[in-house]
A and B are shown apart, each in its own frame.
Chain A
Amino acid sequence: MIGLIRAELTKFRSVRGWLIGCGIAAVLMVLLAVVAAAGTDARVGGPGARGALPRASDGTPVLDGFTFLQQPLDGDGTLTVRVPSLTGVALRPPTPGDSVPDEQEQATPEPWAKAGLIIKAGTTSGSAYTAVMVTGSHGVRMQHDFIHDLAGPTDARWLRLVRSGGTVTAYASSDGAAWTTVGSAPLATGAMSAGIFVATPPHQEYEQFLGGTSVIGGGAIATGTFDNLTAAGIGAGGDWNLVSVGADDSPNRPESTSTRNGDTFVLRGGGDIAPVDGGTGPKLEQLLSGGFMALTVLAVLGVLFVTTEFRRGMVRTTFAATPSRVRVLAAKSVVLGAVTFAVGLVASTAALLVGTAIRGSNHYPADALTQVRIVVGTAALIAVATVLALAIGTILRRGAGAVAAVVVLITLPYILSAAAVLPAATADWVLRITPAAAFAVQQTVPEWPQVDQAYTPAFGFFPLPAWGGFAVLCGWTAVALVIAAALLRRRDA
């Protein structure tokens, strides 16, 4: 087998056009990285900008702005409240010459509008917290550290937070008598702020149709009504103070207000406590967007690596030298996979380095492991796709047909989905069933169940996880190789 692999490697390296093809693939990838990096608008900076955003404990950039009616809680304690109503108002985005945003009455609040109890390490944006809340349409939730979200009962209106030592436990109840535990989370001991809060993500309407997308959005204001508020514990008591957390960072946010009518409090304001939407800003994988070009060029090589042998009858010399045709196919796959993996690895690394040198780290953060995953994943995607192309070439024995098949199966589904040509629903299943699903290895932005955004390929979100999409490609390749092997054995050479 070693000799056979050496033979196929000799075949590959001795056709200069194929080596040039490898070079072109790498250059295309780096070129596209330069274009992507240079084309990124670098107007980001200053207060509220992505670079200045607070981070969750794992580094995820987050939003931390809300309307907070609080008092101190220095040790153990218990907060209880009833939230009889949570309503919302969407603001039309400000148009030029229109200084005051119009308020549009809205029947329901944003699905992820929040009103409830929170214990937070101070009132600065980004500090640790644990909260239990009623939401617009997701029932009771317990959230902490911005990225953690636990579902509670859907119809409960009574909320309770109990702080005990380094743990905060959240409860919910529909009648204020029978309580169910929602969850608990660690929270540091010491002096904290505790109270009621209101927040709501902005209003967004997202539409993707054949040939385009449209996003209409604007700020939103949530109004939460609270009663039966009790706060008991070490350091608790005294007046309730209104704080607009994070207001300094987002000057356009609607003003936070608080009104008290007897035992009833009404809080009103915008902002949100949640991970930021990673889909709309610059993303690291955009520097690897030349991957599909490199893949296409190398896949053509993969096709030619076998179809030229069929066309010229050279395959007879090959099979006379090695009667086991399956071993020949295996050797070709190994050589092609290894060569294109190496080319893909060099090209992806170069693209990432060059692009980062131009653009800096002005993108949704990706930790070292994620960076390695997208670079190695892109190389693996290219390598396996090239082997798939080889298998298709073996099956069809015609270069033109096989290249067309590869483009239709891999390149087109990816481009049409990523460039938002296909409607979102179509793109979703196209990227589940075609080999292009493997482009999921390039996704760096995470999906958050507790954040509504357009989780579509056009915004860098793939329907399958990285390993799942890659598995789809591997499945196609395995099936194609099995068919190719069976046909090779059956057909006359």
Chain B
Amino acid sequence: MEATIEVNDLRKAYGSTVALDGMTFTVAPGRVTAFVGPNGAGKSTTMRVVLGLDRVDAGTALVGGRPYRSLRTPLRHVGALLDASALHPARSGRDHLLWQAHSQGLRGQRVDEVLKLTGLADVGRRRAGGYSLGMRQRLGVAGALLGDPPVLMLDEPFNGLDPEGIRWMRGFLRALAAEGRAVLVSSHLMSELQDTAGHLVVVGRGKVVADTSVADLIAAASSDRVTLRTVARTEAMTALARVGATVAVTERDTLTVDGLPADRVVTVLSEAGVPFSEIAAHRATLEEAYMELTKDAVEFRATEVAR
């Protein structure tokens, strides 16, 4: 099976509330795709639609080219973690995985494998009600891995994880993608995915706002702005203006230079013999780039609430 998720023009409304408004994107194999957006942007709804749990008014969602509901043993094709707390507290973590395994015709041995893989081997036979949220997230990931699926879909897997857990999860997701799987991870906190995701699907108000690689997004959000500290302010301004840069004075000995990359600034100043003590190129973080993209959606919500 091809390791892809294809979501095409999903539309869904609860009464007058539009949850999905033409959601369209594709998740490719071999990388972690971050599925980000503010709360209520339609991330979870989209995932439920992909899993055949929620109906849509229009649009299609395909996993490996097939509708989820047509899969005989779906957990062998798609592993999903929707809500880590969705388990019976009296049932042991192992039994929680065991019934899922039985439903796919998998053996109990596989349950022990994924428990080991997620670091739960020692607590598997304890009641799941006593698990911390972090352990439940691991159990949820273990469930998603049961069928060794080429496609993984995890909804907010970082929720409730401690720093060590977050690090573990990042490495785990990267490793899974490196094995050639398509991995879709939703989050409302961009920073969690900074070093993990290779691709980004940003959603707001039920549709895709940006569908881009992480590198491109950061580059796009970072303008050519260089901060320069120099005692020879006037000379520096003259030299830079001559090559077409826009220069502004921010402090007594600090200038900001727009329209010229940092390496050019250094060359121009050196050639003109202007001394400078510090030069810094400004680079947007993923967080800033994301905030920029979702600003509209967030603002809309804020005014809606204020009204």
Which A residues have a C-beta under 8 Å from some C-beta of B? 3-4, 6-8, 10-11, 14-17, 308-309, 312-314, 316-324, 492-493
Range for the number of chain B residues in contact with chain A: 20 to 34
Which one of A14, A308, A320 contacts B98 once the chains associate, using CB atoms below 8 Å? A14
Cβ–Cβ contact B90 & A313, under 8 A:
no
Q: Give B279-307 as 1s and 0s: 1 = Cβ < 8 Å from A's Cβ atoms.
A: 00000000000000000000000000000
Tell me which of B86, B96, B105 has the highest count of chain A C-beta atoms within 10 A of its own C-beta: B86
Contacts of A321 in B (CB 8 A): 74-75, 100, 103-104
Please choose the segment from B48-56, B203-211, B243-251 that sits at the chain A interface, where 4 or more of its residues have CB less than 8 A away: B48-56
Please choose the segment from B21-29, B77-85, B173-181, B266-274 that sits at the chain A interface, where 4 or more of its residues have CB less than 8 A away: B77-85
What are 25 residue pairs bridging A and B, where the CB atoms are less than 8 Å apart in the complex? A3-B103, A3-B105, A4-B103, A6-B103, A7-B102, A7-B103, A11-B88, A14-B99, A15-B91, A312-B87, A313-B82, A313-B85, A314-B87, A316-B51, A316-B53, A319-B52, A319-B53, A320-B52, A321-B100, A323-B52, A323-B68, A323-B74, A492-B48, A492-B55, A493-B48
Cβ–Cβ contact B99 & A10, under 8 A:
yes
CB closest chain-B residue, reference A323: B69
Contacts of B55 in A (CB 8 A): 492
Q: Does B71 contact A (CB under 8 A)?
A: yes
89-123 of chain B: CB within 8 A of chain A: 90-92, 95-96, 98-100, 102-105
* A284 smallest CB distance to B (angstroms): 39
Cβ–Cβ contact B95 & A320, under 8 A:
no
Cβ–Cβ contact A320 & B88, under 8 A:
no
* B238 smallest CB distance to A (angstroms): 66
* A305 smallest CB distance to B (angstroms): 10
Contacts of A317 in B (CB 8 A): 82, 86-87, 100, 143
Cβ–Cβ contact B100 & A316, under 8 A:
no
Contacts of B69 in A (CB 8 A): 323-324
- With A313-B83, A321-B75 as known contacts, state yes or no: A7 contacts B100, CB within 8 Å: yes
- With A7-B100, A7-B103 as known contacts, state yes or no: A320 contacts B90, CB within 8 Å: no
Q: What 3 A-B pairs have minimum CB-CB distances, sorted nearest first?
A: A14-B95, A7-B103, A313-B86
Extra inter-chain contacts (12) besides given A320-B82, A323-B74, CB under 8 Å? A3-B105, A4-B103, A8-B99, A10-B102, A15-B88, A313-B86, A316-B82, A317-B82, A317-B87, A320-B74, A320-B80, A321-B104
Q: How far is the CA of A313 from the CA of B82 in the complex (A)?
A: 9
Q: How far is the CA of A492 from the CA of B47 in the complex (A)?
A: 13
Q: How far is the CA of A323 from the CA of B91 in the complex (A)?
A: 23
Q: How far is the CA of A312 from the CA of B68 in the complex (A)?
A: 23
Cβ–Cβ contact B86 & A320, under 8 A:
no
Contacts of B52 in A (CB 8 A): 319-320, 323
Q: How far is the CA of A321 from the CA of B143 in the complex (A)?
A: 10
Tell me which of A11, A16, A316, A317 has the highest count of chain B C-beta atoms within 10 A of its own C-beta: A317
- With A15-B88, A323-B68, A323-B74 as known contacts, state yes or no: A316 contacts B48, CB within 8 Å: yes
* A492 smallest CB distance to B (angstroms): 4
Tell me which of B71, B85, B99 has the highest count of chain A C-beta atoms within 10 A of its own C-beta: B99
Cβ–Cβ contact A14 & B92, under 8 A:
yes
* A152 smallest CB distance to B (angstroms): 67
Cβ–Cβ contact A3 & B91, under 8 A:
no
Contacts of A492 in B (CB 8 A): 48, 53-55
CB closest chain-A residue, reference B100: A321
Cβ–Cβ contact B74 & A15, under 8 A:
no
- With A10-B98, A314-B88 as known contacts, state yes or no: A320 contacts B51, CB within 8 Å: yes
Which one of A11, A316, A319, A493 contacts B99 once the chains associate, using CB atoms below 8 Å? A11
Contacts of B68 in A (CB 8 A): 323
CB closest chain-A residue, reference B75: A321
* B141 smallest CB distance to A (angstroms): 13
Q: How far is the CA of A320 from the CA of B47 in the complex (A)?
A: 11
Contacts of B105 in A (CB 8 A): 3
Cβ–Cβ contact A308 & B82, under 8 A:
no
CB closest chain-A residue, reference B105: A3
Contacts of A4 in B (CB 8 A): 102-103
* B262 smallest CB distance to A (angstroms): 50
Q: Give B154-192 as 1s and 0s: 1 = Cβ < 8 Å from A's Cβ atoms.
A: 000000000000000000000000000000000000000
* B22 smallest CB distance to A (angstroms): 19
Cβ–Cβ contact A314 & B100, under 8 A:
no
* A299 smallest CB distance to B (angstroms): 19
Q: How far is the CA of A356 from the CA of B298 in the complex (A)?
A: 75
CB closest chain-A residue, reference B49: A492
Cβ–Cβ contact B53 & A493, under 8 A:
yes
CB closest chain-B residue, reference A314: B86
* B157 smallest CB distance to A (angstroms): 15
* A13 smallest CB distance to B (angstroms): 8
* B81 smallest CB distance to A (angstroms): 9
Contacts of A313 in B (CB 8 A): 82-83, 85-86
CB closest chain-B residue, reference A493: B53
Cβ–Cβ contact B87 & A6, under 8 A:
no
* A333 smallest CB distance to B (angstroms): 16
Cβ–Cβ contact A17 & B90, under 8 A:
yes
Contacts of A493 in B (CB 8 A): 48, 53-54
Q: How far is the CA of A85 from the CA of B51 in the complex (A)?
A: 85
Q: How far is the CA of A317 from the CA of B143 in the complex (A)?
A: 9
Contacts of A312 in B (CB 8 A): 85-88
Contacts of A8 in B (CB 8 A): 99
* B191 smallest CB distance to A (angstroms): 27
Q: How far is the CA of A313 from the CA of B90 in the complex (A)?
A: 15
Q: How far is the CA of A7 from the CA of B52 in the complex (A)?
A: 20
Contacts of A10 in B (CB 8 A): 95, 98-99, 102
Q: How far is the CA of A319 from the CA of B100 in the complex (A)?
A: 10
Tell me which of A8, A312, A324 has the highest count of chain B C-beta atoms within 10 A of its own C-beta: A312
Contacts of A6 in B (CB 8 A): 102-103
Cβ–Cβ contact A7 & B80, under 8 A:
no
Q: How far is the CA of A319 from the CA of B86 in the complex (A)?
A: 13
Tell me which of A15, A318, A321 has the highest count of chain B C-beta atoms within 10 A of its own C-beta: A321
Q: How far is the CA of A86 from the CA of B102 in the complex (A)?
A: 76
Q: How far is the CA of A308 from the CA of B86 in the complex (A)?
A: 10
Q: How far is the CA of A17 from the CA of B91 in the complex (A)?
A: 10
Contacts of A308 in B (CB 8 A): 88
Contacts of A319 in B (CB 8 A): 51-53
* A10 smallest CB distance to B (angstroms): 4
Q: How far is the CA of A196 from the CA of B53 in the complex (A)?
A: 81
Q: Give B192-208 as 1s and 0s: 1 = Cβ < 8 Å from A's Cβ atoms.
A: 00000000000000000
Contacts of B54 in A (CB 8 A): 492-493
* B239 smallest CB distance to A (angstroms): 64
Contacts of B85 in A (CB 8 A): 312-313
